[in-house]
Chains A and B, each alone.
Chain A
Amino acid sequence: MKILVPVKRVVDYNVKVRVKADGSGVETANVKMSMNPFDEIAVEEAVRLKEKGVAEEVVVVSMGVSQCQETIRTALAMGGDRGILVETDDELEPLAVAKMLKGLAEKESPDMVILGKQAIDDDANQTGQMFAALMGWGQGTFASEVDIQDGSIQVTREIDGGAETVKLKLPAVVTTDLRLNEPRYAKLPNIMKAKKKQLDTLSPADLGVDTTPRLKTVKVAEPPKRQGGIKVADVAELVDKLKNEAKVI
């Protein structure tokens, strides 16, 4: 089978993000960027399926600025076979990404698309679901276990209150949760090999997708600074304060 793995370039999870002075977004100039951690899990799962002989080809795709090539190369160093970048400087919303994925899926005809359940920058948690709807494919979101069977796939999902197991017909969409696997670190010889792997570049227009944003960001602001806490003498005082001062109960 062929697996398509979309990966997103995001601000590295170690970076303390700062809001831009004009409140239009977060500062990304001179900030370290990395692959979205949930997408790393997706790449790892796809590569494991390849190593098990279940998958023949793992195609890594990304959408965004030209530096997304680095993110794709990272995935190729982990074991992806080739990459596709849909290059654009535009701000991309989940629906635009899902539409471009549809275009790519029609070109590539994968049996499975596996991607992160959300990206750690905008935390939208929408792309996988929108893409599945556009394709009319089944979806196994928040996966903590993926088991390929003959022509179908069993996905254990992390849901409120426990785990749910669903069985999907292929082709299907899987979005990854944290417990699915622990991504490997790239080895030097594989980093070297990844430099020579095929990486094609397309534009949104090639896929017939208009990426114009449909939402307008009104304001981005820092969360309020945390105030120091106080000590209460007993439960009665706590309840009183919650009721009368914080007014939360």
Chain B
Amino acid sequence: MHPKPDQYQELRDALRDLCKHYPDAYFRGIDAEGTYPEAFIDSLTEAGWLAAMIPQEYGGSGLGLTEASVIMEEVNRNGGNAGACHGQMYNMGTLLRHGSEAQKQAYLPRIASGELRLQSMAVTEPTTGTDTTKLRTTAVRKGDRYVINGQKVWISRVQHSDMMILLARTTPLADVQRRSDGMSVFLVDLHEAMGNGLSAQPIRNMVNHETNELFFDDLEIPEDNLIGEEGRGFKYILDGLNAERTLIAAECIGDAWWFLNKVVDYTSERTVFDRPIAQNQGVQFPIARSYVNTEAANLMRFRACELYDRNEHCGAEANMAKLLAADTSWEAANVCLQYHGGFGFAHEYDVERKFRETRLYQVAPVSTNLVLSYVAEHVLGLPRSF
């Protein structure tokens, strides 16, 4: 069974013990019903896993991105989908790095205990998509409050969060020097906001991902909920994205291990033409190649983690890890499905479910093209395309 034991084995073993209580049939049932894996997430929360990166003085375990990434990897390797909870692991980073001490005291201990779920981050908009700096949701100051108007799309886990991080424009694009200026980050109390200027419309989708369209209609939020300085929000969000990308890379690696373990077992047992199908090199080689690519992508993932944990620049490595890991999990998914023959399509083998789930990471949270564009223009210095 892969991955091979490493120095994080203690964490892996403890997570595997927890995950044993949630077998494939549990996740299959959640997928079929289109519900949220409440019991599983409660167990993870209660055992402190989602508070791994919160400093100990705020009630977390004060671990690095490396350990956090192992946690997310193991969730996916054990057949689950960390997409249901990874927001709780990293969204608090914006608060931790840029929030005031009062905000941190008010929220971080309750996030660490799981009493407050900060699982949502609202950036993407229907009309501007990847072109984030053009986003149209506005926040206008009115006395000691901000008034929010606009629309967001694909905002995940809103129905299972108490708080949400929101990126909105506080200075019109026409009035700023650089297009990345003039946006601000807010903490939205979802219980107060829902029905009082905020409404959410769930989007049914290819994976069982709880995600929504959000409509802001004169939503008022207290000025105390502004994080950091007004106008610098885009930078704060970008700071958090390296952690998000690296964690998602680790989830993809976890998926790849799941697919590889599954296809190695299946093809070694499945006998047609009087021998295991894995005895044919036509079957072996694609599996072996997928394994090679997974090991390679995994190195880049740990490299990105290492730089992040040393507080060094890791933008290029986080992006490259995300791209390589998403590609390798997709390749492994395809190999796994292919060599299950017809059975891969049957729900009870779980391959088609994991196949759908891992496909998301070619597009979200950053699409493959945008990673390539980052590498081309920011690493290689090629001319800017946008």
A-side residues, CB < 8 A to B, are: 14, 30, 32, 34, 70, 73-74, 77, 185-189, 191-192
Contact = CB atoms under 8 A, between A and B. Distances in A.
A185 B18 contact: yes
Interface in B1-59: 1, 4-5, 9-11, 13-14, 17-18, 21, 46-49, 51-52
Contacts of B47: 185-188
Given A74-B10, A188-B14, 11 more contacts: A14-B1, A70-B9, A77-B10, A77-B14, A185-B14, A185-B18, A186-B14, A186-B17, A187-B46, A187-B47, A188-B48
Contacts of B5: 32
Contacts of A74: 10, 13
A32 B63 CA distance: 25
Contacts, number: 39
A87 to B, nearest CB: 19
B61 interface: yes
Interface residues of B, number: 19
A187 B10 contact: no
A37 to B, nearest CB: 11
A77 B11 CA distance: 11
A191 B10 contact: yes
A135 to B, nearest CB: 33
B17 A188 contact: no
B18 A189 contact: no
Contacts of A186: 14, 17, 47
A189 B11 CA distance: 11
Given A185-B47, A187-B48, A192 B14 contact: no
Contacts of B10: 70, 73-74, 77, 191
Closest 8 A/B residue pairs (Cβ): A188-B48, A185-B17, A187-B47, A186-B14, A185-B18, A189-B48, A187-B48, A192-B61
A72 to B, nearest CB: 12
A191 B1 contact: no
Contacts of B49: 188
A162 B10 CA distance: 38
A197 to B, nearest CB: 14
22 contacts: A14-B1, A34-B13, A70-B9, A74-B13, A77-B10, A185-B17, A185-B21, A186-B14, A186-B17, A186-B47, A187-B14, A187-B46, A187-B47, A188-B11, A188-B48, A188-B49, A188-B52, A188-B61, A189-B48, A191-B14, A192-B61, A192-B63
B51 A188 contact: yes
A193 B30 CA distance: 34
A187 B10 CA distance: 11
Contacts of A185: 14, 17-18, 21, 47
B41 to A, nearest CB: 15
A77 B18 CA distance: 14
Nearest to B60: A189
Nearest to B46: A187
A14 B48 CA distance: 26
A77 B61 CA distance: 14
B37 to A, nearest CB: 17
A188 B15 CA distance: 9
A189 B48 CA distance: 6
A115 B61 CA distance: 31
A187 B1 CA distance: 24
A189 B17 contact: no
Contacts of B13: 34, 74
A188 B5 CA distance: 19
Contacts of A191: 10-11, 14
Which of A14, A34, A73, A192 has most B Cβ within 10 Å? A192
B65 to A, nearest CB: 15
A191 B49 CA distance: 11
Contacts of A34: 13
A34 B10 CA distance: 10
Interface string B226-257: 00000000000000000000000000000000
A70 B52 CA distance: 21
